């Protein structure tokens, strides 16, 4: 880990943290000195991720949770505060993608994607915002997508969730700015993870999870007087 630790002692809560973007973000924040609360639905994967971070010296609390559940979210927030302290950085990363023509999609698929990608951000942000308001500081970073700005065949449900997430992010930012809380969105293109198939693409040219983690780092380490509200990330070359 780096000796440059601008987040020393701060508490960061990262959702969807057992792999991919979430794990890369957690790893980076730990290197900057943050104490980590990690959540994911799969307890075994979460335990493995937490162990890997602890081996590198990170302070980690792992809490299996379904971020679509109000009860799970409230438990996650409470356990984090009791074990590590007040949440100063929230990274809403958990997300899923289901891709199909709209006339072939089911209501169950709609609910699953919208609840995970959009409702969960509302629930988690609502859980930590009161403490941030009281302290008059904090960061909420929502991992959105370029799919929140572009349309493509088969993307109706996923795009709807990410367009909605960008709208939610911008409104939250205005609600919370008076209290010194900065709410930001990171919008990557396709990232080389197991989130979705990448048939026919050169994954070496695709964005990597570490690229998204770097954007999150830029947001949470910016100067007090600045506000990076949105970051768009594209690969240098089309894969």
State pLDDT tens for residues 37-76: 999 999 999 999 999 999 999 999 999 999 999 999 999 9
Residues 99 and 196: beta-carbon distance below 8 Å: yes
Residues in the chain: 239
User: In sequence order, what DSSP letters do the residues of 84-143 get, joined into one string?
Assistant: T-S--EEEE---------GGG--HHHHHHHHIIIIIHHHHHHHHHHHHHHHHT-EEEEEE
**Could you give the residue numbers annotated as active site?**
158
Tokens linked to 185: 């969105």
Fold of 11-233: Rossmann fold (3.40.50)
User: How far is C-alpha 10 from the geometric centre of its chain's CA atoms?
Assistant: 17
Taking each helix axis from N to C end, the angle separating 43-55 and 20-31, rounded to the nearest 10 degrees, works out to 30
Q: Mean pLDDT, to the nearest integer, of 33-37? A: 98
Q: pLDDT tens-digit profile of 68-118? A: 999 999 999 999 999 999 999 999 999 999 999 999 999 999 999 999 999
Taking each helix axis from N to C end, the angle separating 120-135 and 156-176, rounded to the nearest 10 degrees, works out to 10
3-state SS class at 60: strand
3-state SS class at 21: helix
Rg (CA), the chain: 17
Domain ranges of the chain: 11-233
Its pTM stands at: 0.96
Q: pLDDT tens-digit profile of 160-204? A: 999 999 999 999 999 999 999 999 999 999 999 877 656 667 888
Task: Using the structure block, give the residue that is written with the tokens 């380490």.
Answer: 221
Which phi-psi region, left, alpha or beta, contains residue 233 (left: φ > 0; alpha: ψ -120 to 50)?
beta
pLDDT of residue 2: 46
Q: Mean pLDDT, to the nearest integer, of 211-238? A: 96
């Amino acid at each position: 880990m780096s000796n440059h630790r601008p987040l020393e002692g701060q508490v960061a809560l990262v959702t969807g943290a057992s792999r991919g973007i979430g794990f890369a973000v957690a790893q980076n924040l730990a290197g900057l000195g943050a104490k980590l609360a990690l959540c994911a639905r799969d307890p075994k994967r979460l335990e493995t991720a937490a162990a890997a971070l602890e081996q590198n010296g990170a302070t980690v609390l792992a809490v299996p949770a379904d971020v679509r559940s109000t009860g799970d979210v409230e438990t996650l927030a409470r356990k984090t505060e009791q074990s590590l302290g007040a949440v100063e950085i929230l990274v809403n990363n958990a997300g899923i993608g289901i891709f199909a023509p709209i006339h072939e999609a089911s209501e169950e698929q709609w609910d699953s994607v919208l609840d995970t990608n959009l409702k969960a951000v509302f629930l988690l942000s609502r859980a930590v915002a009161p403490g941030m308001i009281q302290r008059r500081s904090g960061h909420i970073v929502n991992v959105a997508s370029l799919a929140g700005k572009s349309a493509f065949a088969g993307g109706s449900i996923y795009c709807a969730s990410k367009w909605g997430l960008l709208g939610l992010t911008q409104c939250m930012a205005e609600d919370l700015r008076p209290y010194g809380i900065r709410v930001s969105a990171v919008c990557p293109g396709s990232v080389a993870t197991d989130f979705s198939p990448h048939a026919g693409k050169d994954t070496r040219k695709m964005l990597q999870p570490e690229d998204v983690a770097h954007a999150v780092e830029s947001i949470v380490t910016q100067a007090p007087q600045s506000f990076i509200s949105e970051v768009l990330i594209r690969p240098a070359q089309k894969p």
